[in-house]
Structure formats: C-alpha cells, structure tokens
Structure 1
Amino acid sequence: MSDQKGARRRGAKGAAATPDSVPVLDDGGKGITDKPHAGQVYQRPTGITPRDILLQYQDHIFGLVYTLLSFWTRFYRIGHSNHVVWDEAHFGKFASHYLKREFYFDVHPPLGKMLVALAGYLAGYDGSFEFKSGEVYEDTVPYVAMRMMLATFGVAMVPLGWYTAIELHMSRWASHLVALMVLLDVGWLCISRFILLDSMLLFFIVFTVFCLTKFNNQKSKPFSFGWWFWLISTGFSIGCVTSVKMVGMFVTALVGLYTVEDLWEKFGDLKMPLRDQAKHWVARVVCLIVLPFLVFMATFKIHFIILNETGPGDAQMSSLFQANLQGSEFQKNPLEVAFGSRVSLKNMGFGGGLLHSHHHVYPAGSGQQQVTCYHHKDNNNEWDIIPRWDEPPYNPESPVIRFVQHNDVVRLSHSMTTRNLHSHTVPAPITKLNNEVSCYGNSTIGDIHDYWVVEVVDDTLRGGRANVDRIHALTTRLRFRHQVLGCYLYAGTAMLPQWGWKQVEVSCVPENNPKDAHTYWNVEAHYNDKLPPADSRHFKSPFLRDFWHLNVAMMNSNNALIPDPDKEDILASVPFDWPFLYLGLRMCGWGDEQTKYYLMGNPIVWWGGAGSLIVALGTFGRKYFVMSEQDWDHFLYVGKIAFAGWTLHYVPFIIMGRVTYIHHYLPTLYFAVLNFAHILDHFIFSSRRLGLPVKSAAFGVCAVAIAGTFWWFKGVAFGIDGPIGEHTGLLWRKTWNIYRV
C-alpha cells in the first residue's frame, strides 16, 4: 500500500505508477462510493493484470475476508456451554411464549424477541422449555442452532463497520482498524453468542449509521434512485432498531440531528427553489418520521396477532384487551355489575395494576392493612360490592337484584380478609399530600370512612355518562370518591419500599381532576351467580389504544427498574465505570465445574476509544494541518457523526435513574471506535508530513495491540473451563472481579 493510497481520499487524486512503470488502476485511495454505480461496467484497459483486478475490487475482497473471520469468532465454541446463560433465561422464555402464543409482558419492544422466537421455530423448538437461569438445556432444545442464527447479526457488524469506514472516506489504514476493532472486541463478541437481543440491537445501530453515510454520499444527486433508496433504508433501519430496544431512540436522535443540520443548510441556500425545499422536507418527514413509526407500529400489530391467548402478562393490559384473548374467562362473566358482585378493579392509568390487599400492615401511619396496586392476578385482588352499614345487609338468597349506578354509595369488602376499603386523614406512606388508603374492620366492624361514592366517567361502547344507566364490567370507566373526605381513590406511579413488596402505592388524592386517568377504574373480573354471562360482542379493543397502553406500561416498568438500596447488585455498574472498563460482568455461575463467561471489552479498543474522545474535544476547534475547506468540513462531518453518536448513547444513562449494566455501553462503543480510527486518521494516516514507514509502523502497532489483546482475553468470550485461578494474567485492573469469589 503506497503512501498515496494511505492519504485521505478527499485529497489529491493524482495517478501513481509502479516502479516498473506498469499501468495500474490506482483509485487514489477511493472507496466504493467513487466507483461506477450498479449496472455500469468498467472498461478494462489493455495490459491489465489479475493484480489490477484485485486492486479494483479490494474493498469487497477485504469485506469478504472480514466476514469470514467474523463467522469464525462468533461461531467458534458457541455451543460449548449447555447451560442457560445470563439473560437467555428471559429472552428464551419469551420465545417460548410466542411459540405457545401466550401473552406476556416485557419492558422491550417486540421485534427482537419475535426474531428470537423465529430462530427457535426454524430450529424446531416447540416452546416447552422453561429457560430457568443456569439450568442445563434439554436435548429437545436446539439452543446451539438458535445461538448461531442470532449470532449472524453479530457477524454482520464486522463488514458493516468496514464499509461504513469506507463510506466515511477514512483512509484504508483507518478502515482496517475499524474492522479489526469490531471483529476483535471481546465484549461485542461475547454478547453476540447467546440468545439475547443485543446482537440485533447492535446490528441495526451499525446498519443505521451505514445507511446514513451512504445517503450522505448521495447528497450531490438529490431525488435520484440511490438517494431515495438510502433515505428509505435509513428510515426503515431506525424503525427496526427502535423496535428491538428503546435504546434505538438514541441513534434515531443522531439521524435527526444530521437531518436538521442538512435541512438548515438547504434553507440557507438562496439558489434552491422553494419547490425543491418543500420536496426535501416532505421526503425527510415521510422517510424518517412516518416510515419508522409505521415499522414500529407494525411490530406491535404482529405481536398482538401472534399472542392471542391468555398468558402471564395479561394484567399489564387493559381489561378489554384481555377479554379478546383466547381462553379468557372474562367473556363468561356477567356484564352488568350489581350489589353482591365479587369484582377485581383495574386502574386505568396506563400501566396501572389491580386493586390489591394482603395481611401485611403499614409499618407507620395507621398501622392498618396495606392496600396496593398489583400487576399479577391472584385472589387478593377480589372485592365484594356491598351496601352501607346503615342499609340492610346484602342477602344472597334474595331474588331482588340491585344494580350499581352512578352516585351509588358502596362498601368494598376485601374478599380474602373481609376488611373494608377505608381512608382517613393519615398521610399516605409515599405521596404525603394524599390520604392513606387501608383495609379496616371486618364483616361486622366498620364506620362511615368505609363509604365510597361511585362516579361514572363514561363507557367505551355507550359513550358519555348520560348514556350509562347501569355499570358494565370492562367497558365502564369509574371513579371512587370518599364520601367523608371527598378525595378520590388513586394509583399513580409511586412504588412502595420492600415492606410493601415493591407494589404500587394506592392513596386518596384530595384534588378533583376529572381527567386524571390514575383515578379511573373499571371492573375487570366479575362474579355473580344471579346474572347471565356477557355477550362477547361487547368486548372490542381498538389497536391504537392497546398500542399506546402497552408502550406506556413498558416505559413505566422500565423506569421502575431502579437500584434497590436494600440489596447489593454485584452485576450492576454505573456509566462512569464503562469508558475505561472499570469492571466487567459475570454472565453465569463461577464454580470450578462451570464454563465461565465474563462480559468485558478489549482494553485497547475501550481505552483507545475513550482516550480519543478526549483528544477529539481539543481537535475539533482548530486545524492542526493545512487542509482545504472541503477537507476540513469533511473532517468535522465524520467527527460529528462519531462524537455526537457517542454522546447521545452515553449521556442518557447518566441522567436516567434505572439500574444499569456494562452491556448498556456496547452500542455507545461503536461510536468510540469510529472516533478512535478518525483521530488516528487525522494525526497519522492522512498526514502529509509523515512518511509511509511511520504510517505503516503506527498501523502495525495498533493492529498487533488489538489482535494480541483479543487473543489474551479470548477465553472470557469463548468460555473459561476449570478453576478460574488456573487462568492467570487476566486481572489488568484490580476492580475486575474475575478472580474474586
């Protein structure tokens, strides 16, 4: 490789000759973007040799070589451990639910998990395995085939990294380093070899950046086929990455910032007709907003179509949605609610649970029996609707049926403990401005603080309150106003501590906000022997409402994943631990007889990437070398893609309060790798002041360091057998818990 080829592609394009003066097709270091478009044919000059052909197609040849190497690293010993490793316990179980068509709930969107289920289906898995953490796979579970199918997403990262560097017009030296770092990072390698979502998430992030760079290289040919193809591909990709994990919103933000800057430049171009300006805006809106959102919605539609039977996640969804699931008992329940009915009450705030009580009492406040909201179904969610204390008691033998209507005053008696739903002026345990809600008394002891006024809000099928003569299960929205205090039964987002089993706090809010969905309730389960079963035609749940409900429930559950001060999580880490690889993560048990996997990165890749970010902060502000304005603009363009991408993927984890782990840094690392290669390119490989020997030596040192460090730590990804103490030399930082028991 000549110094001319090592120079930045956007520099001089002068032809070069070999020492023997044999004509060679020298692309001046150009990438595939500078070559003929599809359908065009190179004219082969007279005297061209096979070596010239190799030079012409060397980008693709190297891409193929890196792909083959990636297959080896991702597939080697992939089935060595026959145990359920780390989060395979979750995502394997979700695949089982898809194959059995049982509805479940998870904090992540469905695309990645559906792809896991597809891998299981193609491999012949029947969904019968429970995927308990650390359990040995049964012979009927094709876990190796499933791992291999999902590992192909990790395989594709490597050639995509190579081609992205080319599309960014990095020098060939820097492009090789990008491919090597993606190929030989033990963190990316390890996470790609199991039944997890991360390989798909990483693939779509890398693919999004690749599509964005391809689109940027079409800027000179707006509205051409290539321009439209890569703009649509970018939109489709961000729709997919967001449908795997919501972390995909960060790379979506990167595309958004690029688009805003691009449109702003066009807005300042006074020579561009307004018609073209409008076309650019419409194209971006349709391809980068509408298309991704349609992809995102489509994954949920498929999710709902597949999961059409009752399962463990029913309670997270609305009552109407549950009624449409096959095997639901709600269709057998009576429609009209009456005194004497036994019901469960669902809070209609998105992600709301079921009104719940149990024998445990509040440790402070009134010391009475706890009332909470619970997201799982059990008998402690059941309540009996009975008359006030000053009215005749409910007689189950009486043929008279008294239906519950608007403004009726009722008592809600907890079926399991016979205590009455109660409120008083004691402050709620978490939301101190609200009144505590408890269970008090029994079937013979109580007072007027047990009275609740039923207020009808509306009905999904019948419309406003004026059309609701009787309260219906599932469809009628209710509020419960405390007759004495005037406050409303409320279940927000506050979570009780460990003494409340981490369940949602239920309180009585003094403010009367008729639009607060957290004060809305509906009757879900309904039992009354005096009433006939409901007509299933009453139970229709619109897709958009279910889509919105599930997404808010996912968001609320994700935000609830906060560190537990009562427990020590030895796997968790904080974002400041990640860039310089302060610690790793044990993915399985650490016994002598177990195959051990330690999720960490290649130290050279991680430390080099983090260090390059510091250098980049001081580099973007000035030109250290003489370069044209075009070259400087391109240098800033690549730097902004890398540095902004890193910032957008890293900073949100500092701000959010949820528990975090080292694998959350793996998407961010890709932008650190691009930045590392870009900084080396700027100071060394594209420098016109350094000669070929210096550049070759710098590349050799970097490549050997990356490959050597990979080989040293390869066991943490391929699996470490036997006592860990026999594998010496792995403790490069004292904070790594590789050897500690």
Structure 2
Amino acid sequence: MSQQVRKRGKKSTTPIENSNNIIDETYLIKKKKVTIQDNTKENELKYYIVLSFITALAFYLRFTKLGTPDQVVFDEVHFGKFASYYLERTYFFDLHPPFAKLLIAFVGWLIGYTGKFKFDAIGDSYIENNVPYIAYRSLSAIQGTAIVPIMFMTMKTLGFQVPACLLASVIVCFDNAQVVDSRLILLDATLILSVALTMFSYCKFSTFRKQPFTQNWWTWLLATGVSLSCVISTKYVGVFTFFTIGLAVVHELWILLDYQKGLTLQDFSKHFLARLWALIVVPFIIYLFWFYLHFAILIKSGPGDAFMSSEFQETLLESPLAQNSKQVQYYDQITIQHKDTGSFLHSHDHVYPLRYEDGRISSNQQQVTCVDVDNAEQDPNNQWEIVPIKAEDDGKRGKEVNTNDIVRFKHVGTGGYLLTHDVASPLKPTNEEFTVVFDEKIESRYNETLFRLRLSVPGSSPKKQNQKKKVKTLATDLKILHMDTVVAMWTHDDELLPEWAFGQQEVSGNKKIQDKDNVWTFNKITNLDKSDPRSKYIPKEIKTMPFLKKWWQLQGLMFHHNNQLSSSHPFASQPDSWPLALSGVSFYNNNDTKKQIFFVGNVVGFWLEVCFLSIYIGIVLADQITRRRNYHLLSDKARSRLYNTLGFLFVGWSAHYFPFYLMNRQKFLHHYLPAHLIAALFSGGLAEFICSNNSRDAVNVNPNIKKFKMTLLVGLASLGIIWFFFYFGPITYGDTYLTPDEVKARQWLDIKLHYAK
C-alpha cells in the first residue's frame, strides 16, 4: 500500500460527526454556487426532459387497458364496497383508517354515483351493474403515476445526477407489482404515494436546515408532517415511515445538542418544539380529522353496527333494513333465510328415498330442503314457529328471543319439529341429515330437536359470539347449532338434490361450525297481527356520543381485529420471500377466457435492489475495518454520501421491512412495496456512488469515465427491468390468453400460476 493512500497519525474528520443532515455538506455548498456546472440551466433542462419522459411512461403503463378486466378483482370487493357504504352513509367497520377509502368515495360522489352496487363477490360484472369502475381505478392510476416523478425529484434533491434519478424511477415505473396495485380499487397506491411524498418533503426540508425557521424551512417541515399523516391515515403500517423520519430527526437533534454548534438550550428547545409540532401534533390532528369526517358521513345503521357498543349504535339513524326489522318472540311464525345463497328453509310432505343412488340408506323421513323463491312467506312450507324448550314454555306469547337461547322449530306446513341426527345427508356423506319429526316420536327424540341460536360476528371472539342479544328479523346473523350432535345447519347451491326432492337445495349439519357460510337470518314474521305493537314503526330516539369517545372505541376495535388476522391464506407469505420476489398473489382468474392477473414483483428490479443493499453493507464493513487500521480510502465527501444520504435510505428500507418479522398476522407481498420504493431510491444512489471515484487521493479524473460507467450500468439494468415487465405483462394486465406452455415459462420458483396445464 502506497504512502499516498496510507496516512498514519492524521486525525480524520468523520462526516457523521460534522453533519447533522442526510445530505452531505459538500453538495449543499455546491448548491449555493451558481458557477458550478451541476446547477447550470443546461443541466437543469436535462433533469426535466428525463423527468417528463419517465412520467409519461408511468402514465401510459398505469392507464393503458385500465378497464380490463371489467369485473371485481381481489380486494376491490372490500374497498369498492366501503365506497358504496360511504355514498349511502351506511355505517361499516374496517381495519384500516379512513383516509384512502374517503378518497375513493369522493371520486364516486364527484361523478354522481349512488353506491347501489356493493361489490359482493370477485368476478361480478361492472358493465352489467353500471358501475363507474374506471373512474375509481383512475384514482389509483393517477397516484401510481405521481409516485414516479416524486421519486425522481427526491433523487435530484439529494444531489444525484440524472442517470441515478432515472434508474431509481425505472425500478418502480416498470415494477409489475407496483403497476398492478396502481390500477385497481385498492389502498396501496395512496399509501405508497404518501410514503414517497414524505421522503421527498423531508429531503427538501433538509436542504434548508441552515436557514432555520424561515418560510421554506417551515413549509417543507410541515409538508413532511402532512405527508406522514396521510401515510398513517391510510394504513397502520405507516408507523414505519414515522420511525424512519423519527430516526433522522433524533440524529439531527443530537448533532444540534452539541455545544460546538453554538446553540443555546433555548434555541435547541425551539428546534425540538418545532419538530414536535410539525411531525407529531399536526399529523395527529389531521389523522383525527379523517375519523371525524368518517363518523359525520356514516350516520345510518349498517353492517358495522355489530362491532360497536350499544351506546354507539344509539347514535345512528335506522336504515331501511332496521326500520323493517322486528323483535322476534316465541311462538312467532318466521321464514329462515340462508345468508350466503339467499334461499329459504323449507320442508314438504315427501320423504327421503330409502336408498340413495350410491346405495346408502337414509332415514326415509320427511325432507328438509332450501328453496329460492320470491314471497317465500306466502307458502306455509317455508314457515317455522319458534318454540321455547319445555323448561321455559309457559304457553304465553310476548317473550323475546335472544341469541344463545336454546329453541325448537315447528314446521307450520306439516306440524312436525325440525331435527338433525347421526344419519348421513344425501349429497354430503360427512354431514348430518335434517328432517322433521312428528308428535308420536317427539318425546323420545326431544333432545334431537333442540338448537342454540349463536350470534355470528365475523372474526369475533367466542365471548362475543356467546353474548345475549335480542334477535331481530333481517338484522341478526345467526348460526343454528344442534345441541345433541354439535353441528351447524348449512345449505349450499353448488349441487342440487335429484328429482325426488324437486331439484331443491340440500340442508345438512356441518361439523365445521366456524365456517362462514353457516349463517342464517330470520327473514320475516308471517303471523304478525296488526294489533301487535311490533307491526307499527316507531322511529328510535337518536342519541349523541362525544367524538373522542367514538374514536377511542373504534381505535381499540381496529387494533384488536388487526391482531386477530392470523388465519392461514393460500397466498400469504413470509418477509424472507419478499426481497427476491419469491412469492405472489393471485388477484384474478377467468376460467372461461383463461386470463389471469398475478401480483408479483419485477424479478430483475427486486434482485438488483438486493444486490445493491448487499454491496452497501460490504462497503460500510470494509470502510470500518480499514479505518480501524488507519487506512483512509474514501474521501470525506464520499463518506458523507455513504453514511448520511445512502445511510438514511438504507435505514428507511430496513424500518419498512424488518418489523414484519415480528408480526404474527397474515402477511402478503404488497406489504413490501413501501420498502421496495425506498430500496429503489437507494439503488439509484448507490449505483452513482459505485461509478464515481470516491478515493481520498483522486485527482484529475476524467468525468467521461464516470458518465460511461453510469450510463452502461443504468442502461443494462433498465433493459433487464423493462424486458421482464413486458414478458410478464399478460399476467400483470390480465388481458391476454397464454397457452399452458407460455404460463409454465413464467412460473418463478414457488409462484404457482393458473392454467399451467
């Protein structure tokens, strides 16, 4: 090692110790000198020409074929539904804060949509239901497009040259996962745009750090706070963005606390309070505002009522459903409707055949089926009298039915009692047969006629399911559990009974009582007399509840149900598979056209990011080791760029990625996209760092060499990223039929695509 490189006895100046910012000192000095080539009008023009070009590409990739497919895709079933509830002002419950959902609903309101379509099932047609889905998707496409130029300007603000800005932008612009999430009615485009705005605003704020409390300083500090609020108001994973900015702020305040900076404690307190106000208080106030708007809009009773306390429910107007809902009492004759299929519980004076087609023997007793008919209450065969158990049967009417009650059901049409027993059902041999038993057998089979009414609240705890609550028609979701054999009454329409049952739906006892399709409602009371007070509608008294009390209650429920998302999912994945794009999610598949949308990252871009992240760790370790031996290989400018600018981005990626290892809830590839965004910024920056001459003793280096190396690296990387994007384009846009061989050619490690056979 030459003496020029090895310098012993010289005290080095560590950039981390002398800089209180993510942007290195040298760049800030250069920025102020209008005579430096980088800030000439000609160089600025290059930035904006490339910026315009990459923005146009982002716009094209996200808006092209935006109407394909014209059906409900993946989680559009949730967020489109929530927009409809907002437009109808009907209360609902969701795990995520309201900001992004309010934006979607605002688009619907702008174009005059009423929200009549409820996005009930994946695959439902938008065209047939006259849904303005392109307007909804355009919101995501606009946000997804805006992410790319904001990234470019972030890199420019950090002092990187045009090729580095371009590489960072290309990685996200042509990423298949980012494009898919920017073309559908989802929350992710809003989340990622908010993260990008936060990074840009804080970087911009840092350029004015030597002009504290000026207008520009305050503008960009507050812009950072507003952007942070948008992140956390979209999804709670936005806390990772707070953590990223928080670490940078703590580092900056730690430097300012140094007495050598010449700040008095009073001046330091001003800096601390300014950041506390702009980055904590203001974001929290904005965060609360979205919840205030949420409660102000959702004033009608709706599907979210069951999650909230009775005190909260008293603040809501009754919906048409609630107005028609009646308290069920014993000896009421009711129709019972299956929630999933919409069919009504039915029985008739026909028996099961002694032997089924497969040779199995039945009970040869009266059939119990389900029928899909209009005006079901007009047929006594669809009517059931709800009767109390003997111990509580005083023969008097007027006693209310509650959830968790044990009851019996008497068939109005034939006079028998509903029963299930340990006999295999006709179509599902693993399930139990339902039948009707008559007076002469009731005494001996009494226990087999007992059913418990279990409250059904999706995702709720057993304690909540076992609570006692008044049973109302239309409004109370129930699981009807058999006391003797512990099965749930269930029906299905995927296969109908043969001609001996007139092609009606089978009713059977499902041993998997937690299945979500075991749910029934009491639809209508058919023997309600006009003299009965229940026949008259009396508007309920609307009560008030303090906003903060509402917010606190909802906040607790949101966190609780978020933590309950631990069930398995066929496309759930672990964080270790995300950086290398080893996992994906099936968003859409059409069995008729054999087209599909599969959510997966651009493998070239993802792997490139991992390479740069690994190289960075190697460079930092090498620098630390050599400096321990007093070898100062990097210049002060290079070390400042390595530890401050690139270090900030590396910490940002880590803060958005590693915390997922601590979570027990369901995780999917889309959780990695904010980290992927920051990794793209980091990759563009490190690419320029590698291609630059960062040696302490560099003199008279030909700048054309740096430009050539950077142009070659960016060109090759961009070609690979763009090629992969278009190669996977058919399963990104879901617009092209692929043969099984073409599908197989796109299989990537553990990714399992549809129609590969």
Compute the TM-score of the two structures, normalised by the length of structure 1.
0.66
Residue 179 of structure 1 aligns with which residue? Answer: 169
Are residues 287 and 397 of structure 1, via their aligned partners in 2, closer, same or farther at CA, if it must alter by over 3 Å?
closer
Give CA-to-partner distance per residue, 1:626-684, whole Å, 9 cap, x none.
44435423321222322222221112221111111111111111122122223222211
CA distance in 1, matches of 2:175, 2:403: 60
**Equivalent residues, number:** 546
Are residues 53 and 646 of structure 1, via their aligned partners in 2, closer, same or farther at CA, if it must alter by over 3 Å?
closer
Q: Is it true that 1:199 corresponds to 2:189 in the alignment?
A: yes
Residue 438 of structure 2 aligns with which residue? Answer: none
Instruction: State the Cα distance separating 1:207 from its structure 2 match.
Output: 0.7
> Which secondary structure does the structure 2 equivalent of 1:279 belong to?
helix
Alignment partner for residue 669 of structure 2, among 639, 662, 674?
662
Instruction: State the Cα distance separating 1:74 from its structure 2 match.
Output: 0.8
Are residues 117 and 12 of structure 1, via their aligned partners in 2, closer, same or farther at CA, if it must alter by over 3 Å?
closer
CA distance in 2, matches of 1:413, 1:73: 53
2:89/2:299 contact within 8 Å kept = yes
CA distance in 2, matches of 1:58, 1:70: 18
Residue 544 of structure 1 aligns with which residue? Answer: 548
Residue 260 of structure 1 aligns with which residue? Answer: 250
Instruction: State the Cα distance separating 1:205 from its structure 2 match.
Output: 0.7
In the alignment, residue 243 of structure 1 is paired with which amino acid?
S
Are residues 135 and 163 of structure 1, via their aligned partners in 2, closer, same or farther at CA, if it must alter by over 3 Å?
same
> Which secondary structure does the structure 2 equivalent of 1:181 belong to?
helix
Alignment partner for residue 301 of structure 2, among 285, 303, 310?
310
CA distance in 2, matches of 1:413, 1:628: 74
> Which secondary structure does the structure 2 equivalent of 1:727 belong to?
helix
Residue 125 of structure 2 aligns with which residue? Answer: 136
Q: Is it true that 1:599 corresponds to 2:599 in the alignment?
A: yes
Alignment partner for residue 47 of structure 2, among 44, 59, 62?
59
Residue 496 of structure 2 aligns with which residue? Answer: none
Q: Is it true that 1:501 corresponds to 2:514 in the alignment?
A: yes
CA distance in 2, matches of 1:76, 1:540: 48
User: Which shows bigger deviation, 727-736 or 169-178?
Assistant: 727-736
1:475-514 alignment to 2 at 5 Å? 501=514
> Which secondary structure does the structure 2 equivalent of 1:580 belong to?
coil
Q: Is it true that 1:163 corresponds to 2:153 in the alignment?
A: yes
Are residues 83 and 266 of structure 1, via their aligned partners in 2, closer, same or farther at CA, if it must alter by over 3 Å?
same
CA distance in 2, matches of 1:9, 1:54: 24
2:141/2:182 contact within 8 Å kept = yes
Residue 712 of structure 1 aligns with which residue? Answer: 727
Q: Is it true that 1:273 corresponds to 2:264 in the alignment?
A: yes
Query: Where does the alignment leave 5 or more consecutive residues of structure 2 unmatched?
Result: 1-23, 324-329, 331-385, 410-445, 448-469, 471-510, 517-531, 627-631
> Which secondary structure does the structure 2 equivalent of 1:597 belong to?
strand
Query: Which of 1 and 2 has higher RCO (CA within 8 Å, sep 6+)?
Result: 2
Give CA-to-partner distance per residue, 1:254-310, whole Å, 9 cap, x none.
111111111111112351012211111111111111111111110000000111111
1:71/1:155 contact within 8 Å kept = yes
Give CA-to-partner distance per residue, 1:501-558, whole Å, 9 cap, x none.
289xxxxxxxxxxxxxxxxxxxxxxx999xx999937x32111111011111111111
CA distance in 2, matches of 1:730, 1:225: 56
1:251-400 alignment to 2 at 5 Å? 251-270=241-260, 271-327=262-318
1:191/1:199 contact within 8 Å kept = yes
CA distance in 2, matches of 1:654, 1:603: 22
CA distance in 1, matches of 2:539, 2:153: 60
Instruction: State the Cα distance separating 1:208 from its structure 2 match.
Output: 0.6
Give CA-to-partner distance per residue, 1:319-374, whole Å, 9 cap, x none.
12211111179999xxxxxxx9xxxxxxxxxxxxxxxxxxxxxxxxxxxxxxxxxx
In the alignment, residue 645 of structure 2 is paired with which amino acid?
V
Residue 698 of structure 1 aligns with which residue? Answer: 713
Are residues 731 and 685 of structure 1, via their aligned partners in 2, closer, same or farther at CA, if it must alter by over 3 Å?
farther
Give CA-to-partner distance per residue, 1:567-603, whole Å, 9 cap, x none.
xx32222111111111222111253505321111111
Instruction: State the Cα distance separating 1:724 from its structure 2 match.
Output: 4.2
CA distance in 2, matches of 1:191, 1:535: 43
1:119/1:150 contact within 8 Å kept = no
CA distance in 2, matches of 1:542, 1:553: 17
Give CA-to-partner distance per residue, 1:683-703, whole Å, 9 cap, x none.
114556754433332232222
Are residues 183 and 723 of structure 1, via their aligned partners in 2, closer, same or farther at CA, if it must alter by over 3 Å?
closer
Are residues 262 and 535 of structure 1, via their aligned partners in 2, closer, same or farther at CA, if it must alter by over 3 Å?
same
In the alignment, residue 308 of structure 1 is paired with which amino acid?
I
1:525-540 alignment to 2 at 5 Å? 536=541, 539-540=543-544
Are residues 719 and 397 of structure 1, via their aligned partners in 2, closer, same or farther at CA, if it must alter by over 3 Å?
closer
In the alignment, residue 206 of structure 1 is paired with which amino acid?
A
In the alignment, residue 28 of structure 1 is paired with which amino acid?
Q
Residue 80 of structure 2 aligns with which residue? Answer: 92
Instruction: State the Cα distance separating 1:55 from its structure 2 match.
Output: 3.3
Residue 689 of structure 2 aligns with which residue? Answer: 682
1:592/1:724 contact within 8 Å kept = no
Compute the TM-score of the two structures, normalised by the length of structure 2.
0.65
Instruction: State the Cα distance separating 1:249 from its structure 2 match.
Output: 0.9
Instruction: State the Cα distance separating 1:53 from its structure 2 match.
Output: 4.7
Instruction: State the Cα distance separating 1:734 from its structure 2 match.
Output: 3.1
In the alignment, residue 708 of structure 1 is paired with which amino acid?
W
Residue 336 of structure 2 aligns with which residue? Answer: none
Instruction: State the Cα distance separating 1:64 from its structure 2 match.
Output: 2.3
Instruction: State the Cα distance separating 1:397 from its structure 2 match.
Output: 9.4
1:14/1:28 contact within 8 Å kept = no
Are residues 168 and 154 of structure 1, via their aligned partners in 2, closer, same or farther at CA, if it must alter by over 3 Å?
same
2:27/2:159 contact within 8 Å kept = no
1:323/1:331 contact within 8 Å kept = no
Overall identity of the aligned pairs, in %: 30
1:713/1:730 contact within 8 Å kept = no
Instruction: State the Cα distance separating 1:176 from its structure 2 match.
Output: 1.4
Q: CA RMSD in A?
A: 4.0
Residue 740 of structure 2 aligns with which residue? Answer: 725
CA distance in 2, matches of 1:316, 1:12: 54
Are residues 93 and 266 of structure 1, via their aligned partners in 2, closer, same or farther at CA, if it must alter by over 3 Å?
same
In the alignment, residue 74 of structure 2 is paired with which amino acid?
W
Are residues 418 and 188 of structure 1, via their aligned partners in 2, closer, same or farther at CA, if it must alter by over 3 Å?
same
CA distance in 1, matches of 2:103, 2:232: 14
Are residues 94 and 209 of structure 1, via their aligned partners in 2, closer, same or farther at CA, if it must alter by over 3 Å?
same
Are residues 26 and 72 of structure 1, via their aligned partners in 2, closer, same or farther at CA, if it must alter by over 3 Å?
farther
Q: Is it true that 1:737 corresponds to 2:726 in the alignment?
A: no
Instruction: State the Cα distance separating 1:199 from its structure 2 match.
Output: 0.6
Give CA-to-partner distance per residue, 1:430-484, whole Å, 9 cap, x none.
xxxxxxxxxxxxxx99xxxxxxxxxxxxxxxxxxxxxxxxxxx9xxxxxxxxxxx
Q: Is it true that 1:557 corresponds to 2:548 in the alignment?
A: no
2:97/2:236 contact within 8 Å kept = yes
Alignment partner for residue 99 of structure 2, among 104, 111, 115?
111
CA distance in 1, matches of 2:394, 2:68: 67
CA distance in 1, matches of 2:320, 2:747: 58
1:9/1:28 contact within 8 Å kept = no
1:215/1:227 contact within 8 Å kept = yes
Instruction: State the Cα distance separating 1:172 from its structure 2 match.
Output: 2.6
CA distance in 2, matches of 1:239, 1:627: 39
Give CA-to-partner distance per residue, 1:55-108, whole Å, 9 cap, x none.
343323332222222111110111121111111111111111011111001111
Residue 647 of structure 1 aligns with which residue? Answer: 654
> Which secondary structure does the structure 2 equivalent of 1:417 belong to?
strand
> Which secondary structure does the structure 1 equivalent of 2:231 belong to?
helix
CA distance in 1, matches of 2:320, 2:187: 33
CA distance in 1, matches of 2:680, 2:640: 21
Instruction: State the Cα distance separating 1:621 from its structure 2 match.
Output: 3.7
CA distance in 2, matches of 1:92, 1:101: 14
In the alignment, residue 582 of structure 2 is paired with which amino acid?
Y
2:579/2:610 contact within 8 Å kept = yes
CA distance in 2, matches of 1:162, 1:577: 28
Q: Is it true that 1:121 corresponds to 2:93 in the alignment?
A: no
Q: Is it true that 1:210 corresponds to 2:210 in the alignment?
A: no
